[in-house]
Amino acid sequence: MRMYDLIMKKRNGGELTTEEINFFVDGYTKGEIPDYQVSALMMAIYFNKMNKRETADLTTAIVDSGEVVDLSSINGIKVDKHSTGGVGDTTTLILGPMVAAAGVPVAKFSGRGLGHTGGTIDKLESFDGFSVEVSIKEFINNVNGIGIAIGGQTANLAPADKKLYALRDVTATVDNMSLIASSIMSKKIASGADAIVLDVKTGSGAFMKEEDDSFALAQEMVDIGTHVGRQTIGVITNMDQPLGLAIGNALEVIEAIETLKGNGPDDLTDLCLTLGSHMLVLGGKADTAEEARKILQGIIEDGSGVRKLKELVKAQGGNPDFIDDVSLLPGASFIEDVKAPVDGFVEGIKADDIGIAALILGAGRETKESDIDLGVGIMLEKKVGDQVKKGDVIARIYANDTSKVETSREKLLGAYSFRDREVIKPTLIRGVVTKNGIEKY
């Protein structure tokens, strides 16, 4: 088999066989096929697409490029959750403890962040001493003991995806549905999840700007899950503005704690209750999403969600006292107000640019090697639809290095748009996709 022939076939609109897909994924993982040939193939796939069978085969080939985590010694149905990427997305820190408190085992492998703010692991490291360097045995013991563990992604989990994603990232071939779907689903399947809830973002801050494309992406992933015997649900959610109010690591941890206590922003709370409900249904703890939502609301009200977060932090070496006294978390020395330049209504807040404004302050990584400052970030005071008067505070910058504040402020102001007429607040939850089809709200 020759890579040249595969590229030519796809370039001419042909369909790759299972053997051909296995051949290029295996060859690329082993370093036997060069980047330039795989990038040519990715571009051919970008233009000529893959059908469902090819997409499922690509997913399986990526899973088989590394090890599959064996979580069979964990009792119960392991339900994982994945978001297609958002700015200031704190949901895992809230959902994990909430769902675990409801009795669904949470065995999660998370990553560090690149760009924007940190990943879930970076955020958890705001708790002094917290570590994801636990052995798989300890990890499983923790899930069986307290219902939750968060580990780091091992190097040998879907290694083909690491190479392919990095290559796509620099060759303008990320935003193809089959490629995104196989990339995400391969990692979830290799992580040992029995069932998967996907938060598929739509809007200006998402890969898929158009709602129809987001539904189609969700359908693609649900089909892959169904094909490999993992129940999968996709929830389509709006990303026309950042989620919640906090963007920054420790700031998002505080927001997560507040949300677990019932004092979180409405959109973040609603999203967590919605995703969590589906997780409980898939995990066999409720018959309907409505019933599940009541259970989760009870977990917020009786404080068992925030107690579960404490247990998690303690089990992985972190200081749980930080949860009762958030002033112990990494902080910022300077807080600067950003004010509305005009009277009117907030029309849009470009999530990506808010992410960059936080990155400039040091909340995210420019490169894999960069250090991040866990204490800095941005708190939004006004969101889409809010009325403002010129000079009202629309956001606050939390900084430790004053020389970075002006550039961040410019980016932040540029992310906001205003208009003089009333703006309708966007609906967060747009619909769900299950193996039975699409339901739009």
**DSSP letters along 91-113, please?**
HHHHHHHHHHHTT--EEEEE---
Q: From the candidates 10, 81, 82, 162, which is the catalytic residue?
A: 82
Distance of alpha carbon 207 from alpha carbon 213, whole angstroms: 9
Active site residue 187: yes
- Which DSSP category does 365 fall into? B
Active site residue 278: no
Side by side, the strands of the sheet bearing 437-440 are 79-83, 195-202, 231-238, 429-434, 437-440
Contact call for residue 196 and ligand URA (CB under 6 A): no
Contact call for residue 165 and ligand URA (CB under 6 A): yes
Distance of alpha carbon 55 from alpha carbon 223, whole angstroms: 10
* Nearest residue to the partner ligand URA, using Cβ: 183
Q: Could you tell me the CA-to-CA distances from 248 to 31, 205, 243, 427, 430 in Å, in that order?
A: 37, 17, 12, 24, 26
Q: Tell me whether residue 117 or residue 183 sits nearer to ligand URA (CB atom).
A: 183
**Total residue length of the chain:** 441
Active site residue 227: no
Q: Tell me whether residue 14 or residue 262 sits nearer to Ca ion (CB atom).
A: 262
Active site residue 82: yes
Chosen from Ca ion, ligand URA, none, partner binding at 165 (C-beta under 5 to 8 Å by type): ligand URA
Interface pick for ligand URA out of 56, 180, 281, 374 (rule CB under 6 A): 180
Contact call for residue 158 and ligand URA (CB under 6 A): no
241-274 b/e (C-beta count within 10 Å ≥ 16 → b): bbbbbbbbbbbbbbbbbbbbeeebbebbbebbbb
Q: How near is the Cβ of 395 to ligand URA at its closest, in Å?
A: 27
Q: From the candidates 187, 188, 230, 404, which is the catalytic residue?
A: 187
- Which DSSP category does 287 fall into? S
Chosen from ligand URA, Ca ion, none, partner binding at 183 (C-beta under 5 to 8 Å by type): ligand URA
Residues with Cβ within 8 Å of residue 304, at least 6 apart in sequence: 101
Active site residue 183: yes
Q: Tell me whether residue 224 or residue 312 sits nearer to ligand URA (CB atom).
A: 224
Q: From the candidates 108, 163, 168, 365, which is the catalytic residue?
A: 168
Residues with Cβ within 8 Å of residue 100, at least 6 apart in sequence: 106, 146, 147, 148, 308, 312
**Piece of the chain touching ligand URA by CB under 6 A; list 175-183, 256-264, 370-378, 418-426:** 175-183
Q: From the candidates 161, 223, 240, 353, which is the catalytic residue?
A: 161
Contact call for residue 184 and ligand URA (CB under 6 A): yes
What are the residues binding Ca ion (CB under 5 A)?
88, 90, 244, 246
Using CB under 6 A as the binding rule, the residues of this chain from 83 to 112 that contact ligand URA are 84-85
Contact call for residue 174 and ligand URA (CB under 6 A): yes
**Piece of the chain touching ligand URA by CB under 6 A; list 102-110, 116-124, 174-182, 276-284:** 174-182
**DSSP letters along 372-429, please?**
--TT-EEEES--TT-EE-TT-EEEEEEES-GGGHHHHHHHHHHHEEEESS--PPPPSE
Contact call for residue 79 and ligand URA (CB under 6 A): no
Q: Tell me whether residue 180 or residue 197 sits nearer to ligand URA (CB atom).
A: 180
Q: How near is the Cβ of 311 to Ca ion at its closest, in Å?
A: 23
Q: How near is the Cβ of 375 to ligand URA at its closest, in Å?
A: 27
Instruction: Sort 26 into a burial class: Cβ within 10 Å, 0-12 / 13-18 / 19+.
Output: middle
Q: Tell me whether residue 182 or residue 238 sits nearer to ligand URA (CB atom).
A: 182
Instruction: Sort 304 into a burial class: Cβ within 10 Å, 0-12 / 13-18 / 19+.
Output: middle
The residues binding ligand URA (CB under 6 A) are 84-85, 165, 174, 179-180, 183-184
List active site positions. 82, 161, 168, 183, 187
